[in-house]
Amino acid sequence: MKRSLVERLLSTRLQRRDLLIGGALTGLILARQWPRCLLAQTKFTDYPFTLGVASGEPLPDGVVLWTRLAPDPLNGGGMPTEDVAVIYTIATDAALQNVVRQDTAIAPAALGHSVHIEVSGLESDQDYWYRFEAGGETSPIGRTQTAPAPGAPIGQFRFAFASCQNYQDGFYTAYQNMAEENLDLVIHLGDYIYEGGINSEAVRQHNSPEIITLEDYRNRYALYKSDPNLKAAHAAFPWTFTWDDHEVDDNYAGFTPEDDQSTEAFAQRRAAAYQVYYEHMPLRASSIARGAFLQLYRRLSFGDLVSFNLLDTRQYRTDQPCDDTFGIRCEEAFSPAATMTGNRQENWLRSGLNHSNVRWNVIAQQTMFAQFNFGDSQLLPSDFFNPDQWDGYVVQRNRLIQFLQARKPSNPILITGDIHSSWVHDIKTDFDNPESETVGAEFVGASISSSFGDDEAESSAVVTAALPGNLHTQFFDGLNRGYVRCTVTPDIWQSDFRVVSTTQEDTAEVSTLASFVVENGRPGAQPA
């Protein structure tokens, strides 16, 4: 049987990984040992580090360091067909004087000359700085940090979460300001790219019609990754990620695409999108795409304080109910077979929460978890709902809420993206009964740039009018773009909704629109 492209890539990469060389060897020796396919002394047509540097997936003993060589980023990368050797340096100071590691790695042509270095053997809870060199060129320096040791007592952890950065909808002034914050981690909750074509009316433009092929996706990621503010935020902090729909196709579910595309054609497209996602993110090798599959749900923990369960609610999801239209709720929304995560991931989540010993248990995911009846606005027919969020998967949501009520994992908090607006919800055992038990809190973050509907004022007015019918919703804003900064201590969780003054110009000021807290042992949010 013919091996898939990705299978071939995988075996190539495994061989390459075995070839990683100790620090003392020069590029010349490398070239002599693998003269056929590895260029150690490449001369690039242009500066190759156009997409910046990034780090991610912090563990107590290491992180993933990332870059991608792309002297001609918007035209396939502009690299030779050979693999290329890259030297990386890690130090404990910003000037890279106190070097703790210098080594050579491979940028495989088969993975778009991306570099993923899974560093281990570092000290826990430490800052590190890093840099790459290839072909006589030097990358910018990035800062990163390792996680505290498992169970280590942590007084404070600061992170920001972000989502939805449609390039055409605005500039990344949110990242410009985020890069100035003092953070231990950034979490991206999806819609890192958008797959759509060119909007000539937009403040800045996509670089092609809707993306379908491997090369299309590479060029689109390169466009997004070329943004200086995004690069600054990556260089400043370690990140972790999960994806939503637009990394592949709007509102796709499993192997069901948005538009008319055969399952076979869509599976090929999904495989290309998943591979290119890995290529552009500082992910571990465990998240290399295998054909049209990629293992993305995972858990990251920080001492005794906080644990993040990162969900993948697209790859295994059953198709949206009620024709996937924002409209009248139908019976299908209550189907017991409907799932956002698939059974395996749901069991993994429950088991992780059951065994967790940390103070704050975060479920980081894409679409709004709390119920919301848009029809309560009286501006829309009653029973108006969004079938793409958990309101379309009610039985599974109830199962998770009952699990939180019965098993009482310590302080469950949901963090959510997707909807391009800011919300705070209490998670109720019965959303229709305000007197029912509160089992957790949900913070939904504004988009980095994506707009809240075609007319933000109109969309916001609908939600605001519906608030009296949705008493578990404590806060809503649809007019501002930004990110959520969270400060976590053993006693209190605080979420600050950080919003920018504009995304239509390339610089902006940031301010805090609202702050909400959750007290340890007291489920639900309160104004700070």
Kindly list the residues in this chain that would bind Fe ion in the complex (CB under 5 A). 164, 191, 450
With CB under 5 to 8 Å by kind, the binding choice for 391 among Fe ion, Ca ion, none is: none
Closest alpha carbon to 349 in 400, 296, 292: 400
Closest distance between Fe ion and the C-beta of residue 136, in Å?
40
User: 144 vs 365, which CB is nearer to Ca ion?
Assistant: 365
**What CA–CA distance (Å, rounded) separates 105 from 289?**
20
Closest distance between Ca ion and the C-beta of residue 367, in Å?
7
Q: What are the residues whose beta carbons fall under 8 Å from the beta carbon of 189, sequence distance 6 or more?
A: 161, 162, 163, 242, 244, 364, 365, 366, 415, 416, 417, 418, 445
Q: What are the residues whose beta carbons fall under 8 Å from the beta carbon of 342, sequence distance 6 or more?
A: 315, 316, 317
With CB under 5 to 8 Å by kind, the binding choice for 184 among Fe ion, Ca ion, none is: none
Element (H, E) at 10: helix 5-18
With CB under 5 to 8 Å by kind, the binding choice for 422 among Fe ion, Ca ion, none is: none
User: 129 vs 217, which CB is nearer to Fe ion?
Assistant: 217
User: 57 vs 418, which CB is nearer to Ca ion?
Assistant: 418
With CB under 5 to 8 Å by kind, the binding choice for 346 among Ca ion, Fe ion, none is: none
DSSP 81-123: SSEEEEEEEEESSTTS-SEEEEEEEEE-GGGTTEEEEE--SPP
Q: What residue has token string 């990140």?
A: 239
Closest distance between Fe ion and the C-beta of residue 420, in Å?
6
Closest distance between Ca ion and the C-beta of residue 420, in Å?
8
Token digits of residue 429:
């055992």
Element (H, E) at 403: helix 394-407
User: 48 vs 190, which CB is nearer to Fe ion?
Assistant: 190
**What CA–CA distance (Å, rounded) separates 76 from 214?**
9
Element (H, E) at 527: strand 522-527
User: 181 vs 191, which CB is nearer to Ca ion?
Assistant: 191
Closest distance between Fe ion and the C-beta of residue 189, in Å?
9
Strands (E), 163-305: 185-188, 238-241, 298-302
Identity at 293, one-letter amino acid code: F
Judge whether 475 and 424 are in contact, CB under 8 Å. Answer: yes
Closest alpha carbon to 104 in 19, 180, 1, 189: 19
With CB under 5 to 8 Å by kind, the binding choice for 312 among Ca ion, Fe ion, none is: none
User: 164 vs 415, which CB is nearer to Fe ion?
Assistant: 164
Sign of CA pseudo-dihedral 312, 318, 324, 329: negative
Judge whether 74 and 84 are in contact, CB under 8 Å. Answer: no
Tell me the three state secondary structure of residue 47: coil
Closest distance between Fe ion and the C-beta of residue 164, in Å?
3
User: 137 vs 258, which CB is nearer to Ca ion?
Assistant: 258
User: 186 vs 488, which CB is nearer to Fe ion?
Assistant: 186
User: 394 vs 446, which CB is nearer to Fe ion?
Assistant: 446
Closest distance between Fe ion and the C-beta of residue 26, in Å?
47
DSSP code at position 202:
S
User: 418 vs 442, which CB is nearer to Ca ion?
Assistant: 418
With CB under 5 to 8 Å by kind, the binding choice for 279 among Fe ion, Ca ion, none is: none
User: 216 vs 418, which CB is nearer to Ca ion?
Assistant: 418
With CB under 5 to 8 Å by kind, the binding choice for 195 among Ca ion, Fe ion, none is: none
Closest distance between Fe ion and the C-beta of residue 402, in Å?
29
With CB under 5 to 8 Å by kind, the binding choice for 249 among Ca ion, Fe ion, none is: none
Closest distance between Ca ion and the C-beta of residue 76, in Å?
27
Closest distance between Ca ion and the C-beta of residue 222, in Å?
21
With CB under 5 to 8 Å by kind, the binding choice for 216 among Fe ion, Ca ion, none is: none
Identity at 469, one-letter amino acid code: G
Judge whether 93 and 71 are in contact, CB under 8 Å. Answer: no
Identity at 394, one-letter amino acid code: V
Pairing of strands 306-310, 360-365: parallel
With CB under 5 to 8 Å by kind, the binding choice for 245 among Ca ion, Fe ion, none is: Ca ion
Closest distance between Ca ion and the C-beta of residue 418, in Å?
4
With CB under 5 to 8 Å by kind, the binding choice for 160 among Fe ion, Ca ion, none is: none
User: 27 vs 445, which CB is nearer to Ca ion?
Assistant: 445
The residue ranges that bind Ca ion (CB under 5 A) are: 191, 244-245, 418
Closest alpha carbon to 409 in 345, 340, 350, 342: 350
Closest distance between Ca ion and the C-beta of residue 251, in Å?
7
Beta bridge partners of 210: none
User: 109 vs 193, which CB is nearer to Fe ion?
Assistant: 193
| Whole-number CA gyration radius for the chain | 23
With CB under 5 to 8 Å by kind, the binding choice for 358 among Ca ion, Fe ion, none is: none
What backbone phi and psi angles, to 5 degrees, belong to 482? 165, -145
Closest distance between Ca ion and the C-beta of residue 267, in Å?
20
**What CA–CA distance (Å, rounded) separates 431 from 41?**
63
Angle formed at CA 517 by CA 345 and CA 369, multiple of 5 degrees: 30
